[in-house]
Amino acid sequence: MKDRFDLFILIGIGVSLLSFVFALWLNHWVKSRPSSNERIAQIGKLIRNGANTFIRKEYIVLARFAGVVALLILLFVPQPIWKGDYLRNIIMAVSYIGGTVFSAVAGVIGIRVATIANMKTAEAAQTGIRPSFLTGFRGGSVMGMAVVGSTLLGVSLVMLITNDTTALLGFSFGASSLALFAKAGGGIFTKTADVSADLVGKVELGIPEDDPRNPAVIADNVGDNVGDVAGMGADLFDSNVASITAALVIAAALDSSAGGLAHASMVLCYAAAGLLASIIGVGLARMGKRSGPTGALNLSTYITTAIFGVLTAAATWAFDFEWRIWGASAVGLLVGVVIGLASDYFTNDLRKPVRNVAKASGSGPAFTILSGVSYGFLSTLPAMAGIAVSALAAYKLCAPLGDGYAMFGISMAAVGMLSIVGMIISNDAYGPIVDNARGLVEMGGLGEEALEISDSLDSAGNTVKAITKGFAIGAAGLTVIALLGAFISEVNTHAAKLGVEGITGFDIMNPVVFFGMLVGAAVPAVFSALLILGVDRNAQRMVAEIHRQFREIIGLREGKEGVVPEYDRCIEIATHGALRELIPAGLIAIGATLAVGFIGGVQAIGGFLCGNIISGLLLALFMSNAGGLWDNAKKYVEAGNLGGKGSQAHKSAVVGDTVGDPFKDTAGPSINTQITVVSLVSSLAAALFLAYSLF
């Protein structure tokens, strides 16, 4: 049995190397697309340099942060180092650093190719919609392949070297602490730039959206890349690693009681199958002669889903895995699709919610907000119920297999839901690429036809984004439920070593659990509030800088030939501010976890995680969907409905969109990461909570 696990580790490494080779080929393909327009090259270079500036700054801060955390891990995790067994502490610290490095590398790759693919996609629009679509999609796919390849490679290597699932938790924590920076920091960055550029440019000076005189305009375009490409990639890398980690931790507990490593093998096998399915799906994806770009994106998702189902069924048959667990992972995948479709309903401008909000906007901005908040609240039900049902179905399917299988089934449902994440990221990264490309087509003056093509590609990106976002939140929900199971496994492992009693669960009626639950539920709200207030404060700083440039740089306002604003200053402010504003939010989340753990012990932490998951999912779904809805309501009005641009409905819809921006691009998606970080901190500090707690 042990041999077979090694076999699956080798398969995992093999498939991940295959995905890197494929990513290299895609990268080469994108780079070899023709380019000739000088204006596009010039603006594209500004965006590229800006993104690099951000990445450099971010990684300096990150390196310091990761250094401090690694030191703390070295000293205290899994146990204070002076209690002996210092080798385990070293392994944990190194695994942690490994997680941050793998995530960072995947992010850099994604940004690099995205800031080339945007130009190539823009120029390809001159030759037709199909080549332009393919360029954008393959640009995004490089990120998809790199992220999922890194996940599988990293997890396989940690298991190969340490054969210790606790070390894997360290690796996962590295991934999620980087994701916290990348997603929340990127989110603050992009919305700071977006809001400031609009406030001074459009509102105060009345210059167009992408006017190069505006010092914040490049920061705004950079923001799309660092928020949506790098941030989203880090977020899904984090979720993906966490889901596999949780499944492996639970599998280890099952395997240790059953002997052998059959369940751990199954996890790696399914993860490899998911990556393989994504590689095939991405390879096959192209726009048919009759289908639109939305259809093409969705079709490739469905194809990938089907391939995953077939591959895992074949593997289950060939390696004699339990069919019931296959069923759980299939249920997870299906429910993921359903949740995505529900998100789509609430944010699609062909449906009632967006239209009603647009209509309500005619009575003033208060009604835009009230109706948008209402639909945002409503949108939480199908997703919450979907996660609930998939957890229940996985349980029902797997509980008959024996003790502990129910939770393993849930963790495999999460793995199933995240199996096609390579495809999801490709679709998601396609969005900012074609968004950037649309701007470049306009600024480069490529003509009306190219503009129409890139418009239609861009709009497909927005539609698909809603589906993938719902998918990501759903997957995070299942993953953190599984992480709760992993937490119990960790606690029991340490309890056995310390010679104290282990735990089997957390009773709601235990007031210590309830205490943790109430505090845990408040954390995502506080976390979101700090991020939104951070965008607010940071935008004020950037607005001051834009005013200064217009005042001090002679000829800028008039658009004198050769006078350019200091784009880099704005990028620096956005970067610095983003990283500065992020820190209190991150510290509150981690600090609350440690406080609850040291006060109430592991029982309080169980409640804390549960409360955190529930309110986190609720708020994440609410903010993401309400934000997407307001964005599309504004676009719907701008398309000429209800009076079009300049009408009362439009003014109100713009207010809704501005409120929705930090909801959907800063706070909402960062909550995912916050939940994962808190779950992993709990697992890592489990031994400490067991040994040193007040209650």
| Residue 158 Cβ vs a copy of itself, minimum distance, rounded to whole Å | 26
C-alpha–C-alpha distance, residues 88 and 79, integer Å? 9
- Residue 471 interacting with a copy of itself (CB under 8 A): no
Which one-letter DSSP state was computed for residue 521? H
| Listed ranges 75-83, 275-283, 334-342, 366-374: which one lies at the site for a copy of itself (CB under 8 A) | 366-374
Chain positions 2 to 21 lying near a copy of itself, rule: CB under 8 A, are none
CB of 519 to a copy of itself, least distance (A): 5
Instruction: Using the minimum distance from each CB to a copy of itself, give the nearer residue, 71 or 370.
Output: 370
In the bound complex, what is the minimum distance in angstroms from residue 624's beta carbon to a copy of itself?
Answer: 14
Q: How far is the CB of 234 from a copy of itself (least distance, A)?
A: 24
Least Cβ distance, residue 76 to a copy of itself (angstroms): 26
For residues 168 and 489, what is the distance between their CA atoms, to the nearest angstrom? Answer: 13
Residues in contact with 166: Cβ distance below 8 Å, sequence separation at least 6, in sequence order: 78, 88, 92, 490, 493
Which of 21, 60, 388, 498 is in the footprint of a copy of itself by CB under 8 A?
Answer: 388
Q: Which residue type, as a one-letter code, is found at position 355?
A: R
Three-state SS at 34: coil
For a copy of itself (CB under 8 A), the number of binding residues is 79
CA angle 61, 62, 63 (to 5 degrees): 95
Contact status: 370 vs a copy of itself (CB under 8 A): yes
- Pick the closer one to a copy of itself by CB: 87 or 694: 694
Question: 276 or 360: whose CB is closer to a copy of itself?
Answer: 360
Minimum CB distance to a copy of itself smaller for 394 or for 441: 394
- Residues within window 54-73 making contact with a copy of itself, judged by CB under 8 A: none
Considering the complex, what minimum distance in angstroms separates the CB of residue 670 from a copy of itself?
Answer: 13
Site for a copy of itself in 643-662 (CB under 8 A): 655, 658-659, 662
Question: Which long-range contacts link 545-553 to residues 24+ away (Cβ below 8 Å)?
Answer: 545/215, 545/569, 545/570, 545/573, 546/196, 546/197, 546/200, 546/214, 546/215, 546/216, 546/570, 547/200, 549/215, 550/200, 550/205, 550/215
* Interactions with a copy of itself, residue window 172-201 (CB under 8 A): 199
Asked if residue 668 binds a copy of itself (CB under 8 A), the reply is no
Nearer to a copy of itself, 93 or 621 (CB): 621
Token reading at 499? 């010679």
For 296-331, letters b (16+ CB in 10 Å) and e give bbbbbbebbbebbbebbeebbeeeebbebbbbbbbb
Which residue's CB is nearer to a copy of itself, number 392 or number 498?
Answer: 392
Alpha-carbon gap, residue 401 to 510, rounded angstroms: 29
Enumerate residues 617-646 that contact a copy of itself by CB under 8 A. 617-618, 622
Which residue, 314 or 389, is less far from a copy of itself as judged by CB? 389
Nearest to 300 by CA among 185, 207, 425, 391: 425
What CA–CA distance (Å, rounded) separates 115 from 299?
26
By the 8 A CB rule, do 482 and 410 touch? yes
CB of 470 to a copy of itself, least distance (A): 14
Contacts to a copy of itself from residues 72-131, by CB under 8 A: none
The first and second tokens of residue 565, run together, are 């604003």
CA nearest to 477, candidates 243, 237, 192: 243
Residue with smaller CB distance to a copy of itself, 118 or 371: 371
Minimum CB separation of residue 407 from a copy of itself in Å reads: 7
- Phi/psi region, residue 207 (left: phi>0; alpha: psi -120 to 50; beta: rest), is beta
Output the smallest distance, CB 329 to a copy of itself, in A.
Answer: 15
Q: Which is closer to a copy of itself, CB of 161 or CB of 522? A: 522
CB of 525 to a copy of itself, least distance (A): 4
Q: Which is nearer to a copy of itself, 198 or 428 (CB)?
A: 198
Structure letter (DSSP) for residue 291:
S
* Rounded least distance, CB 374 to a copy of itself, Å: 4
Say if CB 349 and CB 637 are below 8 A apart.
no
Task: Provide CB contacts within 8 A for 469, sequence distance 6+.
Answer: 343, 624, 628, 664, 669
Answer for which of 172, 380, 427, 468 binds a copy of itself (CB under 8 A) is 380
Q: Give residues 203-242 in contact with a copy of itself (rule: CB under 8 A).
A: 203
- Which parts of 569-608 interact with a copy of itself (CB under 8 A)? 600, 606-607
359 and 377 in contact (C-beta within 8 Å)? no
In 3D space, the residue among 514, 610, 258 whose CA is nearest the CA of residue 408 turns out to be 258
Q: How far is the CB of 663 from a copy of itself (least distance, A)?
A: 8
Subset of residues 505 to 564 that bind a copy of itself, contact rule: CB under 8 A: 505-519, 521-522, 525-526, 528-530, 532-533, 535-536
**Choice from 377, 541, 550, 569 touching a copy of itself (CB under 8 A):** 377
**Tokens 């960055």 found at:** 189
The CA distance from 438 to 491, in Å, is 52
Q: Which is nearer to a copy of itself, 29 or 367 (CB)?
A: 367
Rounded Cα distance, 383 and 389, in Å: 10
Of the pair 305, 652, the CB lying nearest a copy of itself is at: 652
Region of 51-59, 218-226, 402-410, 468-476 interacting with a copy of itself (CB under 8 A): 402-410
Q: Give the interface segment with a copy of itself, choosing from 111-119, 176-184, 389-397, 455-463 (CB under 8 A).
A: 389-397
Please return the burial class of 108, using the count of CB atoms within 10 Å of its CB with bins 0-12, 13-18 and 19+. Answer: middle
Length of the chain: 695
Q: How far is the CB of 411 from a copy of itself (least distance, A)?
A: 12
In one letter, which amino acid is 514? F
Q: Which of 309, 365, 461, 627 binds a copy of itself (CB under 8 A)?
A: 365
Q: Tell me the closest approach of the beta carbon of residue 434 to a copy of itself, in angstroms.
A: 27
Residue 659 CB, shortest distance to a copy of itself, in Å, is: 5
Three-state SS letters, 88-147? HHHHHHHHHHHHHHHHHHHHHHHHHHHHHHHHHHHHHCCCCHHHHHHHHHHHHHHHHHHH
Instruction: Name the strand (E) or helix (H) holding 233.
Output: helix 232-258
Cβ atoms of 425 and 233 closer than 8 Å:
yes
Tokens standing for residue 491:
């606690």
